[in-house]
Amino acid sequence: RIFLNNGAILGEGYRPAAFWGFESDGIFNDAAELSSAPDHSLMGSEVGDVKFIDQDGDNVITLDDRTELGVDVPEITYGFNLFASYKNWDLAAIFQGIGKASFQGQFELFKPSFAGQVTADLWEDNWTPQNTDAMMPRVWAGAGASPSDVYPSDFFIWDRAYLRLKNLQVGYTFDLQQSLKIDSIRAFFNGTNLWTSTDFPMIDPEIRTGVGANELSGEGQEPNAGRATLMFPQLRVLSFGIQAKF
């Protein structure tokens, strides 16, 4: 098996560039829940961290409990065009989308800094002793890193399926008198990336895992997954124009 720098794996029997990590089962909400679960001590897990599933049934969480979690390369890609006209109006639209594709995040729980901002909604509902029903694990600040971040798991894998209006153009053609030596003038509006339908919680579902990710730092070390918060999204561009036909 070959580990790639985006948290994926290549090997016989696995889908190309499949994500490799732990399946999760929520968050450890208290000490009793941590002590009754399979032994997470090798992971360094504490209350507030992600709970990993014991795949091999030995009651100890090790790297052998990792499994395939999904793929970044979409299994479904599609697109379609629309065109309509009515009297002097015309409209053209281009849609594109993907399905069955995932994004693997990592290091999403670091304390925000210049080098590692996270989106605000990831901080609004983190685990604390006073908030044990939180959506996200405990936030990590200081030396080292949280086991929830260090060890890739499906807790931070998000579906990045989307449908996007990539381009829309709406025009209106003015019929002019021949004495002006201009047959017609068409005024139009053009826009790109105007609308997106997706459940992806980060900035842009077109961002792929590993874009902007850290490289492997040594033999046998785990790869770092991508940070969707470190990349620029697709730009929305609005423009207006006039076309003259002589």
**Alpha carbon distance 91, 81 (integer Å):** 11
- Region 227-234: mean pLDDT is 64
Of 89, 244, 93, residue with least CA distance to 168: 93
Mean pLDDT over 154-172 rounds to 95
70's enclosing H/E stretch is strand 67-71
Domain ranges in the chain? 2-245
pLDDT at 220: 36
Q: Using one digit for the tens of pLDDT, what is the confidence trace for 70-82?
A: 888 899 999 999 9
pLDDT at 221: 37
- pTM exceeding 0.85: no
* pLDDT over 70 (residue 156): yes
| Region of 130 on the Ramachandran plot (φ > 0 left; ψ -120 to 50 alpha; else beta) | alpha
- Whether residue 151 is predicted with pLDDT greater than 90 in this model: the reply is no
Q: Are 51 and 27 in contact (CB under 8 A)?
A: yes
H runs (alpha helix) in 120-212: 147-150
Task: Tell me the pLDDT tens digit for each residue of 101-112.
Answer: 988 876 565 444
Phi-psi region of 121 (alpha: psi -120 to 50; beta: other; left: phi over 0): alpha
The pLDDT, as a whole number, for residue 224 is 44
